[in-house]
Structure 1
Amino acid sequence: MRTLIVARMAPGSGEDVAGIFEEFDRTEMPGLMGTKRRELFSYQGLYFHLQDFEGDGPKSIEQARAHPLFVAVSADLKPHITPFDPDTWRSPADALATSFYHWEAP
């Protein structure tokens, strides 16, 4: 399963955010969450976090929220990444984009 998180990113934070995830991805967390691939994008102040999971991505994210490494990476990202809509954000699930079309070559 694939998830796409959408948020806002502070200008000039790309390298810092990449470094934070580079460290995070060297821990056991990707394996615990079933993360197979991660790719980060930015566009005009927006942040896109594409992640492929072995299983249910949103469920994996929700289950990981209390893990100390997840809590730490979230704190490290706080100066760089903010919710797209702070008024409605309660959890990472509130930042997940909804897929409405998919195509693959036969």
Structure 2
Amino acid sequence: MTDRILIVARMRPDSADDVAGLFGASDETELPRVLGVTRRNLFRYRDLYFHYAEFSGAASEAMSEARRRDDFRKLSDDLGAHIAPFDPATWRSPADAMAEGFYEWTGAPR
């Protein structure tokens, strides 16, 4: 089973290179493989940050595992200088920043 998530947050306008660098360094470690991350895309629009990730298994299980790992907590702490919750009043964990899918379409391969 594959799963995917889209995290929405706010990003400092001058932080795209720093955020990409932090994920680039992390993606060279065992962390994404241990969590089953098979794809990651980062997007920005004005001060918004979109983090799309695909997993080889359930994303909820991967996120539970991630919270127990020091390397994930360090990455999250490092990202904190650049990324802020979309709605700080309601944010408690990354689950509070995940967009909810409501439509999907896949075209036939050419």
Q: Would the TM-score normalized by the shorter structure come out above 0.5?
A: yes
Give the superposed CA RMSD: 0.8
Aligned sequence identity (%): 51
State the TM-score, normalized to the length of structure 1: 0.96
Task: Pick one of 10, 13, 25 that aligns with 2:12.
Answer: 10
2:25 aligns with 23
Alignment of 1:51-90 (within 5 A): 51-90=53-92
* Equivalent-residue separation in structure 2 for 1:53 and 1:67 (angstroms): 17
User: Which secondary structure does the structure 1 equivalent of 2:14 belong to?
Assistant: coil
The separation in 2 between residues aligned to 1:48 and 1:58, in whole angstroms, is 18
For structure 1, list consecutive stretches of 5 or more residues without a partner in the other structure. Answer: none
Partner Cα distance (1:28, 1:55) in 2:
16
Which segments of structure 1 move beyond 2 Å, counting only runs of 4 or more?
A: none
Aligned length: 106
Task: Show structure 2 runs of 5+ residues with no match.
Answer: none
